[in-house]
Amino acid sequence: MSVSRRGLLGGAMATAATGAVVLTRPEAAAAAGDVPTVGTFRTDVVIVGGGIGGVAAALGAVRTGATVLLTEETDWIGGQFTTQLVPPDEHRWIEPSAGAYGQTASYRKLRAAVRDLYRANYPVSAEFRAAGEPNPGAAWSSRLAADPAAWRACIWNLLMPHIATGRLQVLFQHRPVSATVVRGRVLAIAFQGPDDATRFAIGSYFIDATDLGELLPLTRADHTIGREQGGPQSTGGTGELSNPHPSADLMDQQAFTMVLAVGYSRTGGEHRIAKPASYATHLPTFHDFFARNLFDPTRDHAYDAGPNFWQYRRIAALRSFTADSLLEEVGLLNFACNDFKSGALAGVDAVTKADNIRRAKELSLSMLYYLQNDVPRRDGSGTGYPALRLRPDVSGTLDGIAKAPYVREGRRLRSIARIFEWHVGVDNRVDRTGVADSKGAAAQFADSVGTGHYWLDIHAGARDSSGLWRRCYPYQIPLSALIPTNVSNLLAGGKCLGTTHVTNGAYRVHPTEWNIGESAGIVAAFCMTKKTDPRTVQNSRMAELHTVLAGQGVSTSWPASVRGSWQLPGSSAR
């Protein structure tokens, strides 16, 4: 839809003058449709996207003195933790026993709260209760694989004090549809609600914390989609080792996944679903994947004997609970063979996007059908595990499939400075003069607003059959990667920061997205209270900002002893 500047602002100002009541009701009321209807929201900072980055941005902004509106397209907050059913992908320094580096204080508080919630409310075993860093799912892909409900509860506990004071407002089931932008400044965002009504948000700063970078085209912020032109920088390429392609391709995007929540009782059961229409099409992929990778929900397997993919993203393990208290184990099924590689979500029209999501759901259901019926059992007792059953109570949906796609890559800012592989890649690291770096660490950014670490992990998509898994140093998050080249009051608050197709693979994970969002919120509020702007801060006021960040528990550098490391536990240099 299109909205005229005069019509939008005239109506908005009239509504704002009446002192309209804003949403402060809990999530349950929002999900049930019991939501007060208002026409316009006026606040200091408008954050679009209630996922990991959006929640953290809200916390950072309100703590720094701003009033905030946080909007979310679904009826849950939490993003990857909750609506996408993805336990946290983290690095080896995340736990207190390893230094608790590469995360903000609030992220560390959230992780501790989840464990405390289990100890206080779940029938956990004595071993779990006594463990310093227990893992409810005993998963091998995540050090804290927990129920999405636990993540949601703990996230709400972080937000509720600010909601109670009225400084934070949360609006569910609203998606951004247009923006009013004048001379490179965003004045307002229009949202479509679940009742098809249009509502407006007016603010001084706007933060894009959506998974696909939805605000970038609406605000006409310079951005890119997919793979950039590769090759030497002298010819217009990114100069990245992992991108040799001579031309750009906006459809070369990482695969997305519709994750399933599934339970399994070792006492048996019959829960087979109907065969999906496209099952035969996907069958060869499943045969190949599970011939090479063990899947056995009947018992645990030691990782060094060959990882069991039932344990991969399991969120409830028998060993974590008291005897007979857990009726069935629960896992979140997200494997390479149910990555949807046949289409993209960014840069396509709404009809194509919806159809790709529908087909991705059918792919995941086809995989479940295969596991229930046709996967060879390693004990030689036949095929299939019919006791596997969908868990709608875990997913929050009627079908047991995640509320939202697990998005690995969306639109990305063409920010005032971007993060390239040669800034962070172990195999591609060069210094600022273009000379191969011998210091053995990622580039050190003077405008750093956080830290993180992960592999350069690219999941194969429609235009890339192989993907990427390449070494990456512990890195920093430069403020310049959060600032658009052509919009003065918009900041990236999640995966849409100024990375490339390659470096997005490292910056897209949970603790980094949280840090990006939290720092964006702090920067927006800092600019409000100090009457400045992000570019000025980046150019000349970083010392002041660093003091504020440090005061709120945001570390901007890694310890010297860690900077040159990259290897994940149990992995070999590759």
β-strand partners of 46: 69, 206
Taking phi over 0 as left and psi of -120 to 50 as alpha, with beta for the rest, 352 belongs to: alpha
Amino acid, res. 268: G
- The whole-number average pLDDT for the span 295-315 is 91
- Classified as helix, coil or strand, 98 is helix
For the beta carbon of residue 151, count every other beta carbon within 10 angstroms: 27
Query: What would the pLDDT profile of 363-400 be if each residue is shown by its tens digit?
Result: 999 999 999 999 999 888 999 999 999 999 999 999 99
Query: How many Cβ atoms are within 10 Å of 389's Cβ, its own excluded?
Result: 20
Tell me 482's DSSP state. G
pLDDT in tens, 200-230: 999 999 999 999 999 999 999 999 999 999 9
Asked if pLDDT for residue 499 goes beyond 50, the answer is yes
The tokens of 200 are what? 């407006």
Task: Give the HSE-up count for residue 10: Cα atoms under 13 Å, Cβ half-sphere.
Answer: 5
Average pLDDT over residues 340-347: 96
Q: What is the pLDDT of residue 378?
A: 87
pLDDT band at 303 (very low <50, low <70, confident <90, very high): confident
Q: Indicate the SS3 state at residue 465.
A: coil
Distance, CA of 444 to CA of 430 (rounded, Å):
12
pLDDT band for position 439 (50/70/90)?
Answer: low
Is the pLDDT at 484 greater than 70, yes or no? yes
Query: In 441-455, which positions are buried (b, 16+ CB within 10 angstroms) versus exposed (e)?
Result: bbbebebbbbbbbbb
* pLDDT-based confidence at residue 433 (cuts at 50, 70, 90): low
Mean pLDDT computed over 551-559: 98
Q: Which residues contact 134 (CB under 8 A, 6 or more apart)?
A: 115, 118, 124, 128, 320
DSSP letters spanning 401-431: B-SS-B-S---EE-BSS-B-HHHHBTTT-B-
- The residue that leads in pLDDT, 36 or 318, is 318
C-alpha count within 13 angstroms, C-beta hemisphere, residue 172: 20
Cα–Cα distance, 379 to 308 (Å, whole number): 14
The yes-or-no verdict on residue 161 having pLDDT over 70 is yes
Give pLDDT tens digits for 512-526.
Answer: 999 999 999 999 999
pLDDT for residue 39: 83
Q: Of how many residues is the chain composed?
A: 574
pLDDT band at 28 (very low <50, low <70, confident <90, very high): very low
How do residues 235-289 score in pLDDT, each as one tens digit?
Answer: 999 999 999 999 999 999 999 999 999 999 999 999 999 999 999 999 999 999 9
User: How confident is the model over 484-499, as a mean pLDDT?
Assistant: 98
Distance (Å, whole) CA 223 – CA 208: 12
Q: Mapping DSSP to helix (H, G, I), strand (E, B) and coil, where does residue 124 land? A: strand
Would you tell me how many other CB atoms lie within 10 Å of the CB of residue 2? 6
Digit-coded pLDDT (tens) for 56-112: 999 999 999 999 999 999 999 999 999 999 999 999 999 999 999 999 999 999 999
Both tokens of 503, joined, read 């470096």
Rg value, the chain, Cα: 23
Q: Report residue 243: phi and psi, to 5°.
A: -130, 85
Mean pLDDT of the chain: 91
CB neighbours (10 Å) of residue 398?
8
In whole angstroms, what is the distance from residue 286 CA to residue 370 CA? 7
Instruction: State residue 55's pLDDT score.
Output: 98
What's the longest Cα–Cα distance across the chain? 72
The predicted pLDDT at position 393 comes to 97
User: 205-208 and 45-48 as β-strands: parallel, antiparallel, unpaired?
Assistant: parallel
Rounded Cα distance between 16 and 39, Å, is: 9
